[in-house]
Amino acid sequence: MTEWISVVINILLLTIAVGTAVYASRALLMEYSSQVIVSRIRTSINIYEYYPFSWEAELKNVGKGYVVKAFILLSIPSRKSKWKKQYFLSKPIVGLKPSEHRIMRLTLKEEHIEKTNQDSRKEKVEILYQDAMNNIYIVSPGMLVAGKTNQHLQSFDKLPSKMSKFWIRYWIYKRKISKAIKQENSFPERLDFEIKTKQAEYQKLFKDVKFEPKNYKDAKS
């Protein structure tokens, strides 16, 4: 009888310990996790802008935690093959505090769009962000269509979902990001390409210009 009582007590203690650990874990998650609300993506084309093609999303952190980093991930079918895609990453926003909201943009030039199937309407825009607990979230908000400004009154908003590192979905998105970098479609790669292009243009422009040094003494006299 005494042995059974000891077993029951041990089971109760184990149950209490597990329950306490689960409660503490959830309390920690509530304290440090973030919850981002993403408005629908606005896309625009302005041929008079330096970057004619743009995608814009407004992010607001309604949680208690800190958003470390967030990106726009754009996927468009490739011009070369409908089975392949071009992936583009925006310049990230960093350090989104609780109750703070910011606008995130992805801007592209004609050279970038030329690599894609411009006739295709199968572009997909997704928001990825990382919270202070190193969790990765993703959401694909709806696109605002020109002339339909009341879409948000007709449907529910999509909320971000956490991606577990043990799920294949997480590794699929890791591969998409790697693809964007390999295709030179991340923000640093696009910026580096633009700098090199400008340098080449300036070198070509001043190729035949000769700069003759002046004699300081002659100039002074």
- Let me know the angle formed at the C-alpha of 124 by 119 and 126, rounded to the nearest 5 degrees: 155
Q: Is residue 122 part of a domain?
A: yes
DSSP state of 195: H
In a domain, 124, yes or no: yes
Q: Indicate if 24 and 38 belong to the same structural domain.
A: no
Does 46 or 129 have the greater pLDDT score?
129
- Domain extent, residue 53, equals 34-199
Q: Which residue in 44, 53, 118, 38 sits closest to 86, CA to CA?
A: 118
Q: How far is Cα 66 from Cα 34, in angstroms, rounded to an integer? A: 6
Question: Could you tell me if 175 and 125 lie in one domain?
Answer: yes
As given in the structure block, the two tokens for residue 129 are 């962000």
The pairing of strands 67-77 and 85-89 is antiparallel
Residues 78 and 183 in one domain: yes
Q: How many Å apart are CA 189 and CA 181, to the nearest integer?
A: 7
β strands within 12-135, DSSP E: 36-38, 42-45, 53-61, 67-77, 85-89, 93-96, 101-108, 124-131
Instruction: Return the amino acid letter for 5.
Output: I
| Beta-bridge partner residues of 38 | 59
Distance CA 54, CA 5 (A): 69
Instruction: Determine the pLDDT at residue 70.
Output: 92
Question: Is 22 in the same domain as 104?
Answer: no
* 31 has a pLDDT exceeding 70: no
174 sits in the region (left: phi over 0; alpha: psi -120 to 50; else beta) called: alpha
For the cut 80, the answer to whether the pLDDT of residue 135 exceeds it is: yes
Domain check: are 69 and 131 in the same one?
yes
- Is there a single domain that holds both residue 70 and residue 43? yes
Query: Which range, of 25-39, 106-120, 194-208, averages the lowest pLDDT?
Result: 25-39
Q: Is the pLDDT of residue 152 over 70?
A: no
Tell me if 204 is assigned to some domain.
no
Q: What's the pLDDT tens digit per position in 167-200?
A: 899 999 999 999 999 999 999 988 888 888 788 8
Confidence label for 147 from pLDDT (cuts 50, 70 and 90) = very low
Residue type, 7: V
The stretch 26-37 carries a mean pLDDT of 59
Mean pLDDT, rounded, for 126-147: 78
What's the confidence (pLDDT) of residue 94? 92
Check: CB of residue 158 under 8 Å from CB of residue 142: yes
Query: How far apart are alpha carbons 221 and 210 in whole angstroms?
Result: 24
